[in-house]
Structure 1
């Protein structure tokens, strides 16, 4: 599927996590070039990153799972990456074991409370609960996201344990004048079965980019329930691309099992990224730092750390 930055600040003792974001404010300062580096995940159409979840960190090394929106047999769907900010990304393709090979995977997140268990979602709204062990991802269950519209194209999915309840948020990406539709519901993963409660929906428009717009190219939920959303401009396989990360709203689970979803009328732009199509984001645990992943089509994919994870 076809589809800069806060003024750089270094974390004490962890200079490799320095990453520049472009402020909306007029006064800007250039970050050191080494801190602006995107690290390649491969070249060509099949090497992009369409979804990501950070799985661990050891010193400067960040481990993550990435999904790819590939469609043909023999093309990689899921990979493990070990990424050193600004330096290298080692990418190890994983074997997908299930009845059917997924087409156009766009998002992945962990299942809270179930180590090694994840949910990956394809653009048509098909979800896959997978267990990852070694070099293999085994499909435990497949499901269809509820409440989707006829023309929806899903590019994100996130899970969070909120107030003792498991909450899922997903979104149609939107296109230009059509805003993204963001959905939220209680989720349940019991054994090999998946279920969802009543679905709440809201619309989202990004203030940036302004042309060839995908209003929601990925989404994650922070520790406090904030919704972080990436948006992207995609004029074609050769770009030029542009992206933003937004503080878009909040999700909350009530004691009665209902889920409230607030989307800001004017989402706050946390950073903009020129020349890349951000389709994946994930926060480092207990940190304001996170990792961005891109699907730059013919130019392949890339990773970069940035300070965008609001509490």
Structure 2
């Protein structure tokens, strides 16, 4: 797969990418979440998929992306167990120090700890609610980072237009077979708004945080998106180096976040997933609604 160019992964409204996590350390395989939910009595849409992103040509799926369906050798929809399916998964990250383990977040603030065994998801423990969830909150981002004093969860309300996103951090505990536990007493909060110059005025609502991850050096990798609230776009997105979450310190947002990539409504990309690889490489993923989901391997330096 080439660097700095977009590749379609799967086509159709059930095939958007709303979150990405590394499967293993190399970056050649990713676990993606999709924001499918029950609709008109059907709940067949896939929740979790595996994307293989090696150096060769990527073979996209024609969709639809349904639970357990095999699209191509590079796109595999994983099977969710018989337990109640999550509704509107919007973010995912791998669990530090636990290979094959992930935490995914619903838009309403519920988190799921699960492992991936072959092509099947195994839910561990019970779903848990984030601390400090308020009625009407909408969440699209979640990250886990290991510091010297333990694992921290990082998540954010999406924010919209004149309402900033609230980015929160807290200590987290993850037993290999149990629910994630997030310490409500340790929650800290900062605000973020995409600079006004990031998007064209009048082209749709600005969603200040559509995903985030913490890079190895503590940098806050963060995406913002503009959405006219229809399935055809046009969309716009910006990816920022937005601040720092250093080991032993608090998360701090830069007054002038650095733009890593910008995509206007002419390009119509709605980035909802970011993940860091190594040596300045990242993968960004889109949920382009009716146009499915695409990924880009981006070289930042």
- Shorter-chain TM-score tier: 0.7 to 0.9
Q: Distance in 2 between matches of 1:92 and 1:173?
A: 28
1:287 Cα deviation after fit: 2.1
CA–CA separation in structure 1 for the residues paired with 2:138 and 2:181: 21
Partner of 1:92: 76
After superposition, residues 193-232 of structure 1 pair within 5 angstroms as 193-197=179-183, 198-207=186-195, 208-211=198-201, 212-232=205-225
Looking at structure 1, the residues matched to 16 and 138 of structure 2 have their Cα atoms a distance apart, in angstroms, of 18
Structure 1 counterpart SS, 2:23: strand
C-alpha separation between the residues in 2 aligned to 1:253 and 1:100? 37
Which position in structure 2 is the counterpart of 1:22?
Answer: none
1:283 equivalent in alignment to 2:272: no
Q: Which residue does 1:122 correspond to in 2?
A: 106
Q: Does 1:45 align with 2:21?
A: no
* Contact 1:226 1:249 (C-alpha < 8 Å) held by counterparts: yes
Q: Of Structure 1 and Structure 2, which has the larger fraction of its residues in strand?
A: 1
| TM-score computed with the length of structure 2 as normaliser | 0.84
CA displacement at 1:264 relative to structure 2: 1.7
Give the TM-score taking structure 1 as reference length.
0.82
Aligned equivalent of 2:89: 105
Q: What is the CA-CA distance between 1:189 and the residue it aligns to?
A: 1.0
Deviations, residues 14-34 of structure 1 (Å, cap 9, x unaligned): xx5531xxxxxxxxxxxxxxx
Q: Where does residue 36 of structure 2 map in the other structure?
A: 70
Q: Mark the CA change 1:189 to 1:56 in structure 2 (over 3 Å): closer, same or farther.
A: closer
Equivalent-residue separation in structure 2 for 1:219 and 1:109 (angstroms): 10
Structure 1 residue ranges without an equivalent (≥5) = 1-15, 20-35
Aligned to 1:265: 255
Alpha-carbon contact 1:219-1:227 (below 8 Å) kept: yes
Give the direction of change, closer, same or farther, for the CA distance of 1:195–1:56 in structure 2 (3 Å limit). Answer: closer
Distance of 2:82 and 2:252 partners within structure 1: 36
Match of 1:181 among 147, 166, 177: 166
Which residue in the other structure is 1:246 paired with? 240
Q: Is the 8 A contact 1:230 1:279 kept in 2?
A: yes
Q: Secondary structure at the match of 2:28?
A: strand
What is the distance in 2 between the residues matched to 1:71 and 1:171? 21
* Cα distance in 2 between the residues matched to 1:276 and 1:84: 22
- Cα deviation, residue 209, structure 1: 2.4
Tell me, in whole angstroms, the C-alpha distance in 2 between the residues paired with 1:85 and 1:280: 20
Residue matched to 2:62:
none
**Alignment: residue pair count:** 270
Please give the alpha-carbon distance, in whole angstroms, between the structure 1 residues aligned to 2:83 and 2:128.
13
